[in-house]
Amino acid sequence: MDTYLILIIVIGGLLLVGSIIFVIIDRVKRTAKEIEYGAVENHILMHVYGIPFCDNTDSVSLYIHPEQIILECKKKTYILKIDQILNVSMEDDKTIQAQIGTKVKSVVGIGQNLVLHYRTAEHDETKMIILQLAQNFKALGLVKTIKKMVAEEHKKQGVIEL
């Protein structure tokens, strides 16, 4: 009888240790994925789908036009055409046009959503705009798309790229 009791305790202990190790490994993997995709807000570099996009100490200018949304960060311009954006949702009732030229605190890409955190001038509180993109851009896909759109825009405006 004592042998069975010891055997049950040993098996129970092994199962407990195994489940704890599994939970730790799962949490480490999830944290690594969150950092890679920029889901951790306080991470030093903000990422859009795994690409260093903007340091959270920089201010990002957001310009909303009828056909495109332009994000300026670190003297780089990112243009997102409106047909790539399915939906724009904001935390408050202000119209999105009122946010033209807003200084954005951080830009975080999660799945199909591009989340822009901005600070309101009047109440000095952080709000967010969520742009739901038509595609779940992969790391290189977004950069190539943005570079292509910027190049097209520059061509239209007669800007010569060096």
Residue 39 neighbours by CB under 8 Å, 6+ apart: 33, 108, 110
Asked whether 69 and 63 are in contact (CB, 8 A), the reply is yes
**CA separation, residue 94 to residues 63, 75, 80, 90, 103 (Å):** 15, 28, 21, 8, 16
One digit per residue, pLDDT tens: the chain, 162 residues?
Answer: 688 888 899 999 999 999 898 888 877 776 555 444 444 333 322 333 333 445 444 555 566 555 566 666 656 666 655 555 555 555 544 444 334 444 555 555 555 566 666 655 555 556 666 666 554 443 334 445 555 655 666 666 655 543
Q: Strands 45-48 and 102-110: what pairing?
A: unpaired
